[in-house]
Amino acid sequence: MGTLLSALLCTLRAAFLSHASLALENAALRQQLANYQRSRIRARLRTGDRIFWILLRRLWSDWDRALIVVKPETVITWHRQGFKLFWRRRSTPGKVGRPRIPRRHIDFIRRISADHPEWGEDKIAEELAAKFGISHSGSTIRRYVVPRQGPPRGKQNWRTFIHNHAKEVWACDFLTQYTAFFAVAYVFVIMEIGSRRIVHVNVTTNPTLFWVKQQIRQATAENAVPRFLVHDNDGIFGQCGKPVTIEANGRKRSYRCHLDRWLDDAVGIEGLPIPCGAPNASPYIERFMRTLREEALDHFLFLSEDHIRRVVREFIRYYNGARPSQAIHGIPDPYPELNQPAPSAGRLVALPVLGGVQHDYRLAA
């Protein structure tokens, strides 16, 4: 716009100049334009410059003879683009699209979709029409539903299942440990997922399916029987190769290993084998195995199977009764004295565990 005003002022000024002064000024300007044309520097034109040449084209028939900075075809293109833009704005209405539905209806849709993320837009539309007399299309409701966080309720993932049934789920696994004489010992651990308490542990150098069944019998005899037992696909559990379907008492059950069938028939526990090659499907027992190795087993040179058993059982007593778990923000099965209120004053006492490898800190009066 400043360029356009400057050009108009220059035109008014030229009307008051003499013929000689106007001729000399014209010659000076033409000489500068000639120098500019020889330099081949491309000028950057603004919107005001383009409007000036569009208006000049409308008012002066010889406008193209004085044009140097761009080609005449460029000015014609500017004119056509401005014509299209002008009529596009004139023909566009003020509001585009459907009218917005009432705010009250939007609040209804958001509340229902938040309470039931598994409901689709058609079900929400039927709910509103049948009970509130509000009729909206499915595409309209889709615009206002609350975005779904995670999978719908009807499709629980494995983590959700474990979280919902943690108090009635056990998990078991093996850990291998070498002795000083290169013998291999197997540490069998059973954990209660809800409390992270270790309900049973034992060590053997000859693990068999019969031995595993005996450990589960001992664990269930001393504790309440869980509903599920999560385990991996270890060959010790008697893998069937492919799922085997058994029909008994009018029901069909599928088993992937002999341990699952024995658990169902003899103990009343449903075995849950995790997918092959997916230890992250049983992360709680796997994390405990790492804790057991790093905080206990890696600090000893074992001489026998009994040596491993003594170390593991002492660490389990400390783990269940005095070691805080970051997962549950507490102790799995605290000692009776730890259930009492902590003394307000006293000196710090460190009770050694495993000969000082770990310590159980207390306040003594």
Burial of residue 281, with CB atoms counted within 10 A of its CB: 0-12 exposed, 13-18 middle, 19 or more buried: middle
364 - beta bridge partners?
A: 347
Find how far residue 361's CA is from the centre of its chain: 38
Q: Residue 199: how many CB atoms within 10 A of its CB? A: 22
- Give the model's pLDDT for residue 24: 61
Residue (of 186, 207, 200) closest to 229 by Cα position = 200
Reported residue count of the chain is: 365
pLDDT tens, position by position, for the chain (365 residues)?
A: 555 455 555 555 555 556 666 666 666 666 556 666 666 666 677 777 777 777 777 777 766 766 666 777 877 787 788 878 877 777 776 666 667 888 888 998 989 888 888 788 888 888 888 888 888 888 888 889 888 766 555 566 767 777 787 889 999 999 999 999 999 999 999 999 999 999 999 999 999 999 999 999 999 998 889 999 999 989 999 888 788 888 777 778 888 899 999 999 889 999 999 888 888 888 999 999 999 999 999 999 999 999 999 999 999 999 999 999 888 888 999 998 888 887 777 788 889 999 999 998 888 77
Task: Report in angstroms the alpha-carbon separations of 274 from 87, 229, 307.
Answer: 67, 10, 32
- Give the model's pLDDT for residue 29: 60
Q: Which two tokens stand for residue 231?
A: 């385990």
Distant-in-sequence, close-in-space partners of 346: CB < 8 Å, separation ≥ 6: 363, 364, 365
Burial of residue 225, with CB atoms counted within 10 A of its CB: 0-12 exposed, 13-18 middle, 19 or more buried: middle
Could you please report the per-residue DSSP string of 173-237? EEEEEE-TTS-EEEEEEEEETTTTEEEEEEEESS--HHHHHHHHHHHHHHS---SEEEE---GGG
Q: Write down the pTM of the prediction.
A: 0.60
Distance between CA 242 and CA 252 in Å, rounded? 16
- Give the model's pLDDT for residue 48: 75
Please, are residues 196 and 289 in contact by the beta-carbon 8 Å criterion? no
Q: List domains and CATH numbers for the chain.
A: 2-91 (no CATH), 103-144 (no CATH), 160-334 (3.30.420.10)
Long-range own/partner contacts, residues 104-112 (CB < 8 A, 24 or more apart): 105/134, 105/136, 106/144, 108/132, 108/134, 109/136, 109/141, 109/144, 109/145, 110/144, 110/145, 110/146
